[in-house]
């Protein structure tokens, strides 16, 4: 599977962006999905995750109430809706997938993912 992340850009604090992760090859229904980010000088961290079915989702405490992960099966695309953005959200955002036999399990750890997109830059100005 190949992943293409897009939707990043420059936005003022308090603004919104929607990141997209499009997959080529097998449908997203075969995969659990995760969004990660890496800020300059920091390690890559989990942001949100969704199970293969999409029914089970998780967002990290730092973005809870502001970020939402969702998918559009018809478009074979997963989204990360980011609202009320803060300067500390500035980072390169990556989507990742892994095959999953469990339809209801999401994964938060970076090492659990097999395939990664190229990343999209999000910059939030104060």
Residue 63 has pLDDT above 90, yes or no: yes
pLDDT at res. 45 = 97
* Residue-wise pLDDT tens digits, 48-59: 999 998 889 999
- Give the pLDDT confidence score for residue 77 in this predicted structure: 94
| 73-115 confidence digits (pLDDT tens) | 889 999 999 999 999 999 999 999 999 888 899 999 999 999 9
Pick from 24, 52, 43, 33: nearest CA to 113: 33
Q: What DSSP string runs through 48-101?
A: EEE-TTSSSEEE-GGGTTTEEEEEEGGGTEEEEEE-S--GGG-EEEEEEEEE-S
Which two three-digit tokens encode residue 4?
């293409």
| φ/ψ of residue 28, rounded to 5 | -60, -20
């Amino acid at each position: 599977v190949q992943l293409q992340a897009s939707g990043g850009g420059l936005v003022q604090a308090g603004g919104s962006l929607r990141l997209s992760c499009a997959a080529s090859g097998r449908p997203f229904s075969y995969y659990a999905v995760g969004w990660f980010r890496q800020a300059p000088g920091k390690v890559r961290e989990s942001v949100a995750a969704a199970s293969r079915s999409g029914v089970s989702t998780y967002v990290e405490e730092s973005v809870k109430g502001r970020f939402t992960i969702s998918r559009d099966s018809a478009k074979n695309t997963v989204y990360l809706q980011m609202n009320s953005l803060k300067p500390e959200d500035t980072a390169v955002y990556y989507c990742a997938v892994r095959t999953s036999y469990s339809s209801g399990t999401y994964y938060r750890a970076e090492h659990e993912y097999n395939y990664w997109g190229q990343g999209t830059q999000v910059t939030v100005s104060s």
